Chain A
Amino acid sequence: GQNIDQPTEMTATEGAIVQINCTYQTSGFNGLFWYQQHAGEAPTFLSYNVLDGLEEKGRFSSFLSRSKGYSYLLLKELQMKDSASYLCAVNKRGSTLGRLYFGRGTQLTVWP
């Protein structure tokens, strides 16, 4: 496997900020995706980081450190609808078929 690790569960309250971490160990790393998945639905794209640094997109931001094999997804001003599973997925260089390697997902529960 690619040793992609993320916490299984997290909880937070409405309006708060939460950070979901993802660490990976892989050769030929090309980039890292974050997806949101509500129960019984397909994953939806949140972000894709290739270079080091923070990318902000509205209430969601994603950070990548290639040297540390580490990424996080930051969710601000949490809303009830943000309760979902958050999946990080690694894209490998040289993988001509574009295969993604998924972490187990972090189930986030937002309380009122």
Chain B
Amino acid sequence: GAVVSQHPSWVICKSGTSVKIECRSLDFQATTMFWYRQFPKQSLMLMATSNEGSKATYEQGVEKDKFLINHASLTLSTLTVTSAHPEDSSFYICSARGGRSSDEQFFGPGTRLTVL
């Protein structure tokens, strides 16, 4: 199957700082990328959807000014958590769509964010 990578795999930061997470599709061009957040023992919650070269579509309740998404190319999307606070600590997972099977999403390995 198609491969999606995320970097970093984990990050610890101080409250008030910004953190950037990268999501890359390694062997296919991703027309659409999705960003999810997952709290312990809960399911994936979609935060936003981004198409290459256009603005991201945010889910209700997700602050677009706090979670900045850039999808600059067909293989790279970034999520920046600005002015992070402890409640932003979570597991952030990206997925990419656009491989051979247009319905399937391929998930990255996730990024564990801990805000102190």
Chain A residues within 8 Å of B, Cβ to Cβ: 30-31, 33, 35, 40-45, 48, 87, 91, 97-100, 102-105, 107
Q: Is B58 an interface residue (CB 8 A)?
A: no
- Closest chain A residue to B59, Cβ basis: A99
Known contacts A40-B91, A97-B32, A97-B49, then 14 further A-B pairs from the complex at CB < 8 Å, ordered by chain A residue = A40-B112, A42-B109, A43-B44, A45-B104, A45-B106, A48-B103, A87-B44, A97-B57, A98-B102, A98-B103, A98-B105, A100-B34, A105-B42, A107-B41
Could you tell me how many residues of chain B have their Cβ less than 8 Å away from some Cβ of chain A? 26
CB-CB under 8 A for A102 and B43, given A31-B103, A40-B112: yes
Q: Tell me the dominant secondary structure on chain A's binding face.
A: strand
Q: Which of B32, B43, B106 contacts A103 (CB 8 A)?
A: B43
